[in-house]
Amino acid sequence: MTQTNSSSNDSRAGLAPGAGGVPLTHKQILVVFSALMLGMLLAALDQTIVATALPTIVGDLGGLNHLSWVVTAYLLTSTAVTPLYGKISDLFGRKTLFQIAIVLFLIGSILSGLSQNMGELIAFRAVQGLGGGGLFAMVMAIIGDIVPPRDRGKYQGLIGAVFAAASVLGPLAGGFFTDSLSWRWIFYINVPIGIVALIVTSVVLKLPVRKTQHHIDFLGSALVAAAVTGVLLITVWGGTTYAWTSATIIGLAIGSVALVAAFIYVEAHSSEPVLPLRLFKNQIFTISSIVGLLVGFLLFGSIIFLPEYQQIVRGASAVKSGLMLIPLTLGVVLASIGSGALISRSGKYKLYPILGTGLASIGLYTLSFLKIDTSFAIQSGMMFLTGFGVGLCMQVIVLATQNGVEYKELGTATSAISFFRTMGGAIGTSFFGSILVNRLAYNMPRLLPKSVHVSQSMESGAISGSPTYLNSLPAPIHNALLQAFVNSMHVMFLAAVPFGILAFIFSFKLPEKILKRSHGRHDGDGGAEDLEAVAESPIFMVE
């Protein structure tokens, strides 16, 4: 066997396409990445651009306690279709699925911008999620196709940097459009980016299409979507709309368990399951899925509410609240790029999820101490620590999974990891949103002056988080409501800490398998290069 050493940007060493064939040069991979990163930019922007506009959107469209559903609807549908994208792409190739995801995403974006009430916005955000679910999964799977595991860390670091950059630009753009034009432009801005992404992918993304007889597991996808919906309704309604012991919540819990059992049965008997249960025999996949779910739970579930604190409690404009998130995203950028480079150099990855989940747990704990007058310097330290922790583990678990499964299941396994992380985000958003609303309803009557009667309109306005409404209130009432928000967020962030600790514990159980320097279809467990397999496989080239 032959092994070459990389000495320049155009070196082909270690860069073998996943299906085998002539390896891409570093320059060619960067060309492909230009297309992938545009798709990633769309998905990442949409997860963050809404955050700073949420108070204004709710104030404009109404919807009262439905604020979290603007985020959750997107995460729910993207969660449901993510494994479906992975399975279909394993059968037919990635490029077409990637472009279909972009088109669906753009349709949902246009419709969301045209929404006239909260119900329409939530529904169209769900359409947007149908495309968003394929973007991230296809990007990570295509990286697995063209870059071997040993070199994948540094390239996934670039993807992490795009995600983090979007996390900075998203809230800023959302704030700018909300303050200067209209919140509707946070959706319209996706259109020109998406069109460019379609053009670039058509030109530079040259991937072979594999024609295979297939059976698509639509029943499995429908069952998992229904099960996740049931869990989300429990977290949204439990303790607020309905008591935890009510017949509605108990019925939803029983129904969700039954749907999960039905999903497992269908997957066990399906010829081509959307989520092959045999993957869970692989400890790397199982632990990565659990950690991914918990990290998504924490990241989307609690951090999405930071702009609420900045705008409502600190009185920041939408743009300024976006700027205030820079320390968080800076931490994600530095950790993602730095860990990717170190992993590629050493071939080892286990340390980073352990450090990341530990730091993220500490960061979330410090965020529970936010007060009305907490200085921005202290806030920055809290957010940077949390973001740095998330950045150390978010990409690494994908890398570990891709390195630990057979190539034929690369797309399915990658999409499954994205599925669990997104599902965690969807459940986390509704769970922490429910805690925030529940605590607000509890704290407001206790903190308002005794002479003030909490009317239904006041409670609804405060819970909806409309800055315009809150700023119109008399000073004693306004100050009491701000304190109610702070006290409620304190409980919300504290509730996140145990989940961070749980992710930290599971990270220790992640097996470490030295990253392979190639990933042809016949790579053995030891990761030795199989040159004959490379010669037999289709060629991935960029023209």
Q: Are 329 and 493 in contact (CB under 8 A)?
A: no
Shared-domain flag, residues 222 and 211:
no
Q: Which residues contact residue 502 at a Cβ distance below 8 angstroms, ignoring those fewer than 6 apart? A: 294
For 199-224, the pLDDT digits (tens) are: 877 777 766 555 555 567 778 878 88
Q: Is the pLDDT of residue 362 over 80?
A: yes
Separation CA 444–CA 458 (nearest Å):
10
Residue type, 187: F
Residue 20 is assigned to a structural domain of this protein: no
Q: Answer yes or no: is 318 within a domain.
A: yes
Is residue 284 situated within a structural domain? yes
Residue 88 clears pLDDT 70, i.e. is over it: yes
* Statement: residue 1 has pLDDT above 50: no
CA-based Rg of the chain, rounded to a whole angstrom?
Answer: 23
Domain termination residue (choose one: 234, 269, 304): 269
Residues 393 and 246 in one domain: no
Q: What is the pLDDT at residue 426?
A: 72
Same domain assignment for residues 462 and 478? yes
Q: Which of 254-263, 453-462, 488-497 has the weakest average pLDDT?
A: 453-462
466/522 same-domain check: yes
Does 4 fall in a domain?
no
The answer to pTM > 0.85 is no
The rounded distance, in Å, linking the Cα atoms of 45 and 241 is 31
Task: Write the DSSP symbol of residue 275.
Answer: S
Q: In the numeric block, which tokens belong to residue 274?
A: 């959307």
Domain-terminating residue out of 269, 300, 332: 269
- Do residue 239 and residue 126 come from a single domain? no
The letter for the amino acid at 280 is F
Is pLDDT larger for residue 256 or for residue 244?
256
Say if residue 205 is in the same domain as residue 278: yes
Residues 47 and 60 in one domain: yes
| pLDDT at residue number 466 | 57
Is 315 found in the same domain as 196?
Answer: yes
pLDDT digits (tens, 9 = 90+) for 387-402: 899 888 877 887 788 7
Question: In this structure, is residue 541 part of a structural domain?
Answer: no
CATH number of the domain enclosing 418: 1.20.1250.20
Instruction: Check whether 14 has a pLDDT greater than 50.
Output: no
Q: How many domains, the chain? A: 2
How many angstroms separate the CA atoms of 328 and 452, rounded?
Answer: 38
What is the predicted pLDDT for the residue at 19? 42
**Between 384 and 97, residue with greater pLDDT:** 384
Q: Within this chain, do residues 440 and 416 fall inside the same structural domain, yes or no? A: yes
Q: Does position 542 have pLDDT exceeding 50, yes or no?
A: no
Residue 89 included in any domain: yes
Could you tell me the residue range of the domain that residue 139 belongs to?
26-217+270-536
Among 527, 541, 513, 532, CA closest to 17: 541
Query: 238 by DSSP, 3-state: which?
Result: strand
Say yes or no: 437 and 493 in one domain.
yes
Residues 327 and 400 both lie in one domain: yes
Does any domain span residue 374?
yes
Q: What is the pLDDT of residue 255?
A: 92
Vertex 353: Cα angle to 347 and 355 (nearest 5)? 105
Q: Domain boundary residue among 206, 238, 269? A: 269
- Claim to verify: residue 151 and residue 239 sit in the same structural domain: no
Give the pair of three-digit tokens for residue 213: 């007889």
pLDDT value at 157 more than 80: no
Binned at pLDDT 50, 70 and 90, residue 6 comes out as very low
- Residue 8 belongs to a domain: no
